[in-house]
Each structure stands twice: as C-alpha cells, then as structure tokens.
Amino acid sequence: MTSESATTVPLGTFLFSRVHQLGISRILGVPGDFNMPLLDHIFNVEGLDWIGFCNELNAAYAADGYGRIRGLPGVVVTTYGVGELSAINGVSGAFAEHVPLLHIVGTPGRPHFANRTWLHHTLPGGANFEDPDLYVYSRMSAPVRCASAFLENVDNLAEEIDRVLIEVWRKSLPGYLFVPLDIVNAPVPVAKLDAEFNLKIVNSDPVLEDALAEEILDLVYKSARPAFLIDLLARRHRTRELVTEIINKTGFPSFTTEIAKGFVDEDNPAYVGRYNGKLSLPNVQEALESSDLVINIGPLLSDNNSGSFTRHIEDDQLVILHPAYVSVKGVRHDGVHFLPVLEKVVAKIDKTKLPVPRSVSSFKIGLPPSTVYNESASADGLSTTSFYKYISSNFLRPHDIVFAESGTAQYAIGDVKFPANVDFHTQLYYSSIGFALPAALGASVAQREIETAKAGPAARIVLFEGDGSSQMTIQDLTTVTRNGYNPIIFLINNSGYTIERAIHGPYAKYNDISPNWKWTELFSTFGADQSRYFIATVRTQHELASLLDSKEFNAAEGKARFVEVVMDRLDIPWRLTAQVELIADQTKALYTDYANKKGEAPRDF
C-alpha cells in the first residue's frame, strides 16, 4: 500500500485501484512473463484478489459471466501474444452479446517495441520473416473492443485508464488496456485516485430526447393494441427496474425474445411469452404482430433471436429503443442512446390517457410440443421433455441465476417456466460451445461479491451443460472447488454433439466424442477435497426426483453439486428441430436463387 504522505502511486497499483473503485473485487486470468510484475500490484489494493484459471479462454468466458451478473466489467489479465490470442474468442463473444469486459494485456517493455526485438511470443514479419511487428496482436483485437489504450505515455496514464473504463461501462462492451512491462511502476499522481467516474449516459441533444419521449407517448395514447417487446440490449444496459416499471404502469402485453428470457418476470400478469417469429409457441407471433404499436426495447436481430428472420413487424407499428439510435415509425435518429429517452417516457406517462390493455388470456397461447426421441427408451427414461418439465415445476427458485450452454440445453430450457426474479443467461447469438461452464464460474465470483457486500439477495448458480461442450472447458472445475464456489451443474450426457447431429450427420463420426468419460470422477481426478463437492448420476425420472428431493442433495448447498443426466443422443428439443428445418428451407431457397443468378446448377448442402 502507498503511505499516507506519498504523492504518487505506481501505475499498476493505480490501475487496480481504479478497477476496485468501480466495485470490482476479483481479477481473473493466467500469469505470464510479461504480466507477472503487473499482477503483483493486485495485492497492493485492499479488498482486491486474484483468481487464476487453467487457460486464458476460460478466464475470458468467466469475465463475460461476471459482467452479465454485475453489470460491471469482468476483468481478465493475460500475457502478450499467446495469452491474449487464447482469450480473444471469449472477448469476441462478450462483444457480440454486449457484455462489459476489460482485457488487460501485459506486454514487453517499450524499448522492445521501438527496436522491433525478435522476442518469444512475437510473430515473424518482413520480407524475410525476420522483422517482427510487436504491435500486431493489439491490432487483432480492434474489431472486438469499444475502446483501448496502449499505456506508453507517462503523461496521461490515469486519463487513458479512466477513459477506457468509462467507455466499457457506458457501452457495455469489451475494452483493452495494454501495459508495457517497463511502465508498471511508473509514478501516477495519487490525487488522481480521487477523480469521480462520470458513468452517466447523456445524449448531446436533450431537446431531441424530450421530443422523442413526447412523440412515443402520443403514439401510446392513440394506440388500441400496444405491446412491449423486450430484447437483450435492455438487459445489458441495466434497465430491469425501468422496464418493470413501464410494464406495471401500463399493463400492456409484454413479450421477450429468446435471448432475453427471464428479463421480464414470467409470473407478471402482463407477460405473454417469448417472441421468435415462426418459432414462437402457438399464437405468440400473431399476438405480437397484430399489435398496432410495438415498443421494442434493446433489439438484437440475429437469426437465432428472430425465428431465422421470420420477424414481421412493420415500421408503421414500431418504436425501436437501441443504445445507438431511436427509431419511431421508421424515422431513425442515430447517436441517441435509448436510456435517457426511456427514463423520460416512464416519468411522463399519464395513466388516464392509456388505452385499456388486452388481457393475456385472450391470446390463447398454446403449449410446446413434446420432444420426440428414441422410441426404444423406457417409459421412465429421462428425455428433454421430462427432465426440463421436472426442473420447471420442482427445482428452480426465485432469484436463481441460470446458465444454459450453446447446445440442446439452450433450446430446451425455453419451455421452463421461471419463478420470479430468475436471472437467465445463454450465448444464443455468438454460440461458442464450452462457454457456459466458465461463465457460470464467473457468475459465481460475481454473486459472492454481491452477497459479501450485502448488495442483493442470495442466489444459486444453476448450469445446464452438455457433455460435448463440457469437454472443452471442464478443467476449471478445479477453480470452482479450489475457491469454494458452489454451482449446481447438470451435465447432460447425450454422447456427443447432439446439436450438431440435429443440424447434419446424426450418425456421423465427427459428431462423436469419447463415450467413456467418467464425469462424476473428475473432481477426484482434479484433486478436489471431497468436502467441497457432491456428485450423482441419474438415468430415469424416478432417480432424478429421488435425488433432488433427497436430504443428501439438499444438505450439500455449500458444495459444488454435479449431476450427470444420461439421455439418448438423438433426444433433440422440438425448438431446435423446428429451427433446423426452417433454416434448411431458407438456405435451399437462398442458394438456389444465388446459383440461378450465377448461371450455375443448384447444389444440395
């Protein structure tokens, strides 16, 4: 720690102090020769600690999971080159799905950059591959960051660090800080630690904000069948209380997209269901698209989140509130962040002018079809339908934090009815398999900080993960037990890449993995103390119910609980099957049209 009389503080200590001042208490990452002197400064900041991971990719996934739960940047530290490139896939997922994340890279010292030293970890360059460019890696991450600073100039270190931290928070996107080895101990005026972070989102034209709010309210008052459609970016820009308030004030029918499931409480009287174009439950698409006014908050219009582009909401019935623009009936105002506009709309609502909302019961929303799976399975065998039906009715609790892997779990969990205040996360858009396990670990880190600070209710971390995904990132079960975290992990063992089997090659060799993993023995293999975990395997509905009701399972709340759930390898959720069929028809039409324009014969894929 710096003495009370010191006028400066080392750059490394200043950096981690500013991170801690945002409310962050854990730094994630992997040590390397270019970042270890920087890591030493973590321990100069009271209340800040380090959590080491097995590899940089997992650490980045965990930083993403942390950012989702706290709304603060998950901070991951790697070393130059090999470490930062290992992490970049995790950073890319956070960028795609608008998660705040700070990637700090320890780099060689500035003289090495100036002299183009041929150091280890560098890439050879030049005509004879003997002239390495040490800045090449920092350029590689440019497309997946909203802000960055290469801390080379001792005159503006504090300002550059603060600039990046503020941009990451405001934009809810990843940012980078590159810290050369020789500048880690550079002096920074200690007084700069007293500067306040200006995190408030402010648009440049408050008059335009007022005009947009009034225009939106006028449309609301004149509408006969208004509705809300809540999407991912509403979650990322920390609007849950605001969105809940406007739904409760108006009572308008409210829908979420697939990726925003749970953001609106599913027991709210105004909640209708998830809108995903043609892939919605029966009557959901008609209920939303028949509205004469749809206020769409925070849209992310990817294929998986729009029913493979079968969303049909016309401009003349649509208001879009987006972090980069506000659009009212097709008139788009770029550079206007939706948050101040939405705040004004909520504050100015005149309840006496609101139309009478349609009742949710009038929409007659249908039930999901059962998943069809291996007909040779016993009547008591676990299927996607029976497993998630039990989870829905008997297991989940209010305030649970739920992660579903990019696989069958991601599609099956859509039919689970969530209790109030469940915080749900999946990587539906970027869909990097293996993401969810380390992300759930990052969520565990975040939730412990929340509980330690008494800043929110206690919450369980519940993960639904496939065996194919798990094998990619399972090493960090060691990080779970070593640090005493206690997620509940349901490992869906369906013998390989079932999501890929649904798409193509149900019996193809490339969709197989080793069938003989001893999943419940992994904690022991990784050296975990038996007092820190609970393990079980279930193959039938009776075994599942008995386990989850058992004293042993419920007495293990302070431990990591790992349940292997054995299912048939072709047990495919109905929603995944429907999406695959829809995409196949669309792709065939697209490729046929493309081939015709090229004068080529159409080909099958």
Q: What CATH number is attached to the domain comprising 217?
A: 3.40.50.1220
In a domain, 593, yes or no: no
**61 & 170 share domain:** yes
Query: pLDDT tens digit string along 271-323?
Result: 999 999 999 999 999 999 999 999 999 999 999 999 999 999 999 999 999 99
Please count the CA atoms within 13 angstroms of the CA of 427 that sit on its side-chain side: 30
**19 & 146 share domain:** yes
**137 & 239 share domain:** no
Query: pLDDT tens digit string along 331-389?
Result: 999 999 999 999 999 999 999 999 999 999 999 999 888 765 543 456 788 999 999 99
**23 & 120 share domain:** yes
In a domain, 371, yes or no: no
15-41 b/e (C-beta count within 10 Å ≥ 16 → b):
bbbbbbebebbbbbbbbbebbebbbeb
Query: pLDDT tens digit string along 26-75?
Result: 999 999 999 999 999 999 999 999 999 999 999 999 999 999 999 999 99
User: Which among 477, 495, 475 has a CA at the least distance from the CA of 535?
Assistant: 477
Q: What CATH number is attached to the domain comprising 533?
A: 3.40.50.970
**301 & 167 share domain:** no
**249 & 124 share domain:** no
Last residue of a domain, one of 138, 168, 194: 194
DSSP 24-78: --EEEE---TTTHHHHGGGGGSTT-EEEE-SSHHHHHHHHHHHHHHHSS-EEEEE
**156 & 110 share domain:** yes
Q: How many domains does the chain have?
A: 3
**179 & 218 share domain:** no
Q: Give Cα separations from 436 to 219, 472, 511 (angstroms).
A: 41, 11, 20
In a domain, 107, yes or no: yes
**182 & 221 share domain:** no
In a domain, 368, yes or no: no
> What's 2's DSSP letter?
-
Output the CA torsion 112→113→116→117 (10° steps): 20
Name every residue whose Cβ is closer than 8 Å to that of residue 580 and which is 6 or more positions away in sequence. Answer: 502, 503
Q: Which residues of the chain have pLDDT under 70?
A: 1-5, 371-378, 605
Note if the pTM is more than 0.85.
yes
Domain that holds residue 507: 384-572
In a domain, 376, yes or no: no
In a domain, 588, yes or no: no
Q: Residue holding tokens 């992994």? A: 522
SS3 at position 336: coil
> What's 546's DSSP letter?
H
Helix or strand holding residue 481 (H, E): helix 477-482
DSSP 277-324: TBTSSTTHHHHHHT-SEEEEES----STTTTTTT----GGGEEEE-SS
**445 & 541 share domain:** yes
Say how far apart CA 160 and CA 521 lie, in whole Å: 47
In a domain, 546, yes or no: yes
Q: What are the structure tokens assigned to 340, written together?
A: 């101040």
**509 & 564 share domain:** yes
Q: Distance of alpha carbon 31 from its chain centroid, rounded?
A: 25
The answer to whether 357 and 316 have CB atoms below 8 angstroms apart is no
In a domain, 199, yes or no: no
**23 & 164 share domain:** yes
So what's the pLDDT on residue 376? Answer: 47
